[in-house]
Every structure is written in C-alpha cells, then in structure tokens.
C-alpha cells in the first residue's frame, strides 16, 4: 500500500537525522537490555488504596516488535501502559524508554515525551465536538504542527486507517470500529516510534476487531513498536506474536513469537485471522 510506504520512507528519513525521535538522556544509564525500546526492571506500583498493581515486573521490548500483554482484569496490563505514558509514577524499579529513565523527565517535559508515544484506548477517548479530521489534526496542532504539515499527514493517515470518506463526520456518527480507527489514526499521525493499545478491541465485535488488528499490524510493519494489552485469547493465538502474560502484577509467561512469515501482507494476515486454524476456542465467540 502506498500510504504504508510513505510512512516507511518518513521513518527512514528521520533515523538519518541527528536526533532520534525519542529524547535522549544527557548521560544515558546503561540499559539492562541493550537496544530495548521499552525496558522495565523490577517495577512495582502500589496504588493509594493499598492495591498492588505491579509487583517487581521486568520486561524488555526490542524496537519493531509486536507484543501482546495478556492477563485477567487487574493483572497489571493497564498499569504498565499508564506507567509508560507517565500518567502514573512507579513505586519502585526503573522504566527506561529508548534508553532513558523516564523518572528523570520533569513534569513540564511530560507532554513532549508523550508526543513520542501513540496511545489507543478501549473507550477511544475522542473529542466529541470535533470531526474525524479535526480529532486527528489536533494531535499535530498540539505539537505545533503547521497547516502544511496537517494537510500532508492527516489525509494520509486517514487513508491508511480507511477513514478517507468519514473526514467530516463527528465521532457520534461513527460505529465503534470506525471510532477506534480514528483513535488509531490520531495515535499514529505523528509517526511515533512506540504505539500502546490498551484493550483496543475490548468494545468491538470479532470481525471489527480483526480490522483493528490488521491496522495495528500494518503500523507495526512500518517499524513502529506496538504493545497491545488484551484478553482476547483467540486473537492473540492467531497472531503468533510475542505474548507476555501477567497475573497479580507479575510476569508469569513470556512466550516468544511463533512461526510467521515476515513478509506476510496485511491481506494475507487478515485472511489468516479469519480462518479457524490454528486454535478455535468457541467460548470466546
């Protein structure tokens, strides 16, 4: 797809530039896992009420990876997402993103840090009084993007997400799947190196979910690291990507990616997702 290629080209152009897309620490602390884009070491989060959200969790994600976080409600998936966007502060341990300890980021710099992370939520979190186009454009406007920037990038990403015809609709005129696509488009419009999706298909029917997963896969193929928290086992099993399972705030399973063709096109991918093989669990449907 042409749009995908354009994103790839932009990514390449940027990596040749002097500064990387993520803020660099003045004195980078040696990452526990060299080259990891996300690196949690012994991270704990104790909530105010005394609930332990994360308990000494450690994980490392290499750039370009597609990672699933699975686990029941309260296992700590969302806590990891919120820690990564600095909505929450960890009670212990260190979180490094692109080699930089994010505890060092001052409060005033947090917005600039967040611009490097695309976030997709279960409840879409769209601005209800803006059109699809304006919702996506807002992500560029806040970063000081010019009108030309917006004109170049927004239609592109809307085409990528299949929303080109819904440009002027308001969120409440869209289906759940379309709203989630807007949310993905907004998260990806500035081409962040890291995309977090917290239960992106939680509110959607299976067929729509496949569409969203297909979209995330397409984004992942442009080189963006994608982390998806979900409890949709069927989806996870079919994707055959790396799976981290959490339980009670601990990482209880780290299953490396299964066998899949690197060059699988998104259409082939979607076809495979829709097929019954390899595991069909009727309880999920």
Return residues touching other proteins (CB under 8 A).
85, 87, 108, 111-115, 119, 125-127, 129, 138-139, 141-144, 146-147, 186
Judged by beta carbon, residue 103 or residue 127, the one nearer other proteins is: 127
What distance in Å separates the CA atoms of residue 168 and residue 182, rounded to the nearest whole number?
12
Give SS3 for 53.
Answer: strand
Alpha-carbon distances, residue 228 vs 133, 134, 212 (angstroms): 25, 25, 11
Judged by beta carbon, residue 87 or residue 205, the one nearer other proteins is: 87
Shortest separation between residue 110's beta carbon and other proteins, angstroms = 8
Judged by beta carbon, residue 102 or residue 244, the one nearer other proteins is: 102
Alpha-carbon distances, residue 236 vs 199, 201, 242, 253 (angstroms): 12, 12, 9, 14
Shortest separation between residue 147's beta carbon and other proteins, angstroms = 7
Shortest separation between residue 115's beta carbon and other proteins, angstroms = 4
Judged by beta carbon, residue 141 or residue 175, the one nearer other proteins is: 141
87 prior amide bond cis, ω within 30: no
What distance in Å separates the CA atoms of residue 43 and residue 70, rounded to the nearest whole number?
17
> Residues 184, 212: contact at Cβ < 8 Å?
yes
Judged by beta carbon, residue 79 or residue 245, the one nearer other proteins is: 79
Shortest separation between residue 2's beta carbon and other proteins, angstroms = 26
Shortest separation between residue 113's beta carbon and other proteins, angstroms = 8
- Let me know the angle formed at the C-alpha of 245 by 209 and 21, rounded to the nearest 5 degrees: 70
Look-up: residue for tokens 């917005």?
Answer: 111
Judged by beta carbon, residue 151 or residue 253, the one nearer other proteins is: 151
What distance in Å separates the CA atoms of residue 95 and residue 74, rounded to the nearest whole number?
20
Shortest separation between residue 253's beta carbon and other proteins, angstroms = 30
Of 256, 272, 119, which Cα lies nearest the Cα of 198? 119
């Amino acid at each position: 797809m042409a749009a995908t290629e354009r994103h790839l080209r932009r990514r390449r152009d940027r990596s040749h530039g002097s500064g990387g897309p993520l803020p660099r620490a003045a004195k980078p602390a040696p990452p526990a896992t060299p080259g990891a884009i996300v690196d949690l070491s012994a991270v704990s989060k104790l909530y105010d009420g005394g609930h332990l959200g994360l308990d000494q969790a450690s994980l490392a994600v290499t750039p370009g990876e597609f990672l699933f976080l699975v686990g029941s409600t309260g296992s700590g998936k969302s806590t990891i997402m919120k820690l990564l966007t600095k909505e929450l502060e960890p009670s212990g341990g260190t979180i490094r993103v692109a080699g930089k300890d994010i505890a060092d980021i001052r409060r005033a710099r947090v917005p600039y840090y967040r611009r490097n992370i695309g976030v997709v939520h279960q409840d879409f979190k769209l601005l209800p009084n803006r059109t699809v186009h304006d919702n996506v454009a807002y992500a560029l406007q806040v970063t000081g993007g010019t009108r030309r920037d917006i004109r170049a990038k927004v239609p592109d990403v809307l085409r990528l997400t299949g929303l080109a015809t819904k440009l002027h609709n308001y969120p409440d005129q869209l289906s759940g799947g379309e709203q989630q696509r807007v949310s993905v488009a907004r998260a990806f419009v500035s081409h962040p190196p890291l995309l977090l999706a917290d239960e992106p298909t939680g509110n959607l029917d299976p067929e729509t979910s496949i569409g969203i997963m297909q979209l995330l896969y397409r984004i992942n193929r442009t080189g963006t690291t994608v982390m998806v928290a979900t409890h949709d086992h069927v989806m996870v099993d079919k994707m055959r990507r790396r799976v981290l399972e959490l339980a009670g705030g601990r990482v209880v399973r780290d299953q490396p990616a299964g066998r899949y063709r690197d060059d699988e096109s998104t259409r082939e991918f979607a076809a495979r997702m829709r097929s019954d093989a390899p595991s069909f669990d009727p309880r999920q449907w």
